[in-house]
Amino acid sequence: MVPECFSFVIQLLYFDMTSDLEGDCWLHHRIIFSVGYPFPSQGIIERDETPMEKEIALLHRADFEFSHIFYFCRKGMEAIVEDEVTQRFSSEELLSWNLLTRTNVNFHYISLRLTVVWVIGVVVRYCILLPLRVSLAAIGITSMIVGTTAVGQLPNGRVKNYLSEVVHLTCSRILVRALSGTIHYHNKENRPQKGGICVANHTSPIDAIILTNDGCYAMVGQVHGGLMGIIQRATVKACPHVWFERSEMKDRHLVTKRLREHVADKSKLPILIFPEGTCINNTSVMMFKKGSFEIGGTIYPVAIKYDPQFGDAFWNSSKYNIVSYLLRIMTSWAIVCNVWYLPPMVRKEDEDAVQFANRVRSAIARQGGLTELPWDGGLKRAKVKDTFKEEQQKNYSKMLVRNGSVGSLSAETESD
Amino acid sequence: MALSMLAQESGSVTSEQIEHLHRRFKQLSQDQLTIRKENFDSIPDLEFNPIRGKIVHAFFDKRNLRQESDGLAEEINFEDFLTIMSYFRPIEMNMDEEQLDRFRKEKLKFLFHMYDSDHDGKITLQEYRNVVEELLSGNPHLEKESARSIADGAMMEAASICVGQMGPDQVYEGITFEDFLKMWQGIDIETKMHVRFLNVDTIAHCY
């Protein structure tokens, strides 16, 4: 397909430039310096990871509260300078510039040559790639709506299922080409089977298209209005996707019941769920909501990792709306990602839903090379739940009382 | 540029660290020029800290901002933010005795101001109790009495270090800054009370 060829050529050129650089390193040097000082996504301050008890014990003298206040003071300052959570809700910073202005946070004018290269890049992306991609996307969406409505007219049966699969796969492939997506699937033998639940980490709305490119899933989600609503109504005729009304989403039991019914029927396609509940910037995996893990059935974890060099797939929904997000995606170089299918997991006898969720999350994080954070993705918009705060504070006071009551007891016996 | 001037004033803070802090300031202030107390509510990591209130308070304390007047500021700008952050500068290799001493005193003064909430230059028993209660505030099972007895016990220790044996009529008024310094003798906080930026070197790919 034409845009794919173009992006392939661009990728070649880019690699060419960077490999040229071993001999003539002016461009790479310039590219790196133009970003300014690269900050790795792990953070920019050195954090002391010794646990609270150990560190306080080290500082422990008779006047213990002074040392405690000092420990908390430092932790507080570290949190103010940089906190682990908020940085996950903004795009990852790149180590070397990929010629997109949007990733150039610290802009310094370096040289005329670089600017010329960048201008050529802009022209190629906006005038050549963008129109091609938009037209492909339009073709893809129209054919999906038309195709699924047509298949939906057929009576239920094997023919219908087969045709619906064909339609879904074809349209998905067209849409992936429209984004110039290059996807590498690993361990295809672990692909989700019928009657199972597929869980994956969530970075953007495109995740769903990336997965459906390689197989058919039953989507789960809220009913939307507009174009999205039309697509949803059309596709549900052909294939049993699970779309919830907004009011139904509030009722967790209803949701779980419907999903359970779907999973129990082994002839139905596997459901696709993103348990984080919100888009994270693809450097970490946040807390999985336990609802998906209470349904039962086999879980097929999938890890998705995007390569940030070619385009940033993360949707920062507080900064960009969906249209400007799609525009950014379609004017990047390409979307390159790796998808790993992990072996299926089942909940063990003695595990509850939360522990099971964490186990699945660790497997996904390990495979994708992402860090695990125990935080809730909902922190993007809401504040920390009081229950978490109390847990932490209880730990601390338990420790204090243990140390403190010993101290005060001895003081009392002395004064007697 | 204004930032480089600030860099010189703050001593060892490099300009890229200042740029990072500036970005963080803008994030906290939501692109305004000043920060108020409410802006600190948006940091999840800080919620767990029992003395969160005191830390945020310290940012607005005029004594820490090196202003002549007393009391609390309503809002702070980036320069004030940097002033507070400079209390947490890491120690440098090339500091001499006098500089080290001044460094240490500054950090201890910051801590002292945290305790001394009525700004009278002394930490009284009541102020000390307040701090301990705040530290233990998360635990509902801990009675007020235990918190009190912990505070009283520690205060007595402090008195014995600072004043020595007290007569039966003597009342210990409070810990002054000099006494506070005495208590911290021997503990090298200047190596621990800092936020150290990772040294990020640009990657050299040329041979």
Query: What is B161-176 written as a DSSP string?
Result: HHT-SPPTT-----EE
Rounded percentage of chain A residues whose pLDDT exceeds 90: 6
| CB distance A5 to A334 below 8 Å | no
Residues of B whose CB is below 8 A from A384: 44, 47-48
Chains A, B: CB contacts under 8 A, how many?
A: 188
Give dist(CA A83, CA A310) in Å, integer. Answer: 27
Is it the case that residue A8 has pLDDT exceeding 60? Answer: no
Q: What is the pLDDT of residue A302?
A: 92
| CB distance A219 to A208 below 8 Å | yes
Per DSSP, the three-state class of A302 is: strand
Q: Is the pTM of this model over 0.80?
A: no
Q: What is the pLDDT of residue A339?
A: 92
Q: What is the pLDDT of residue A41?
A: 39
Q: What is the mean pLDDT of chain A?
A: 74
pLDDT band per the 50, 70, 90 thresholds, residue A303: very high
Highest mean pLDDT among A298-302, A387-391, B69-73, B132-136: A298-302
Is it the case that residue A216 has pLDDT exceeding 70? Answer: yes
Is it the case that residue A1 has pLDDT exceeding 60? Answer: no
| CB distance A35 to A105 below 8 Å | yes
Give B166 or A246, the one with higher predicted confidence. Answer: A246
Residues 14-53 of B with CB under 8 A from A: 16, 19-21, 24, 27-28, 40-52
By CB atoms closer than 10 A (0-12, 13-18, 19+), residue A317 is: middle
pLDDT one-digit tens code per residue, A24-76: 434 444 443 333 333 333 456 666 655 666 555 555 544 455 666 777 777 78
Is it the case that residue A317 has pLDDT exceeding 80? Answer: no
Q: What is the pLDDT of residue B35?
A: 84
Residues of A whose CB is below 8 A from B197: 44-46
Highest mean pLDDT among A53-67, A96-110, A173-187, A237-251: A173-187
Which ipTM value was assigned to this complex?
Answer: 0.78
Is it the case that residue B70 has pLDDT exceeding 50? Answer: yes
Please list, residue by residue across B77-108, b when 16 or more beta carbons sit within 10 angstroms of its beta carbon and e when fewer do.
Answer: ebebbbbbbbbbbebeeeeeeeeeeebbeebb
Is it the case that residue A376 has pLDDT exceeding 60? Answer: yes
Residues of B whose CB is below 8 A from A390: 138
Q: Does A393 touch chain B (CB under 8 A)?
A: yes
Highest mean pLDDT among A202-211, B47-56, B145-154: A202-211
pLDDT band per the 50, 70, 90 thresholds, residue A358: confident
Taking residues A220-235, what's their average pLDDT? 81
The 3-state DSSP composition of chain A as helix, strand, coil percent (nearest 5) reads 55, 10, 35
Q: What is the pLDDT of residue A93?
A: 61
HSE value, Cβ hemisphere, 13 Å, CA-based, for A268: 23
- Tell me the sheet residues that pair with A305: A338
Q: What is the pLDDT of residue B5?
A: 53
Is it the case that residue A16 has pLDDT exceeding 50? Answer: no
Taking residues A86-97, what's their average pLDDT? 63
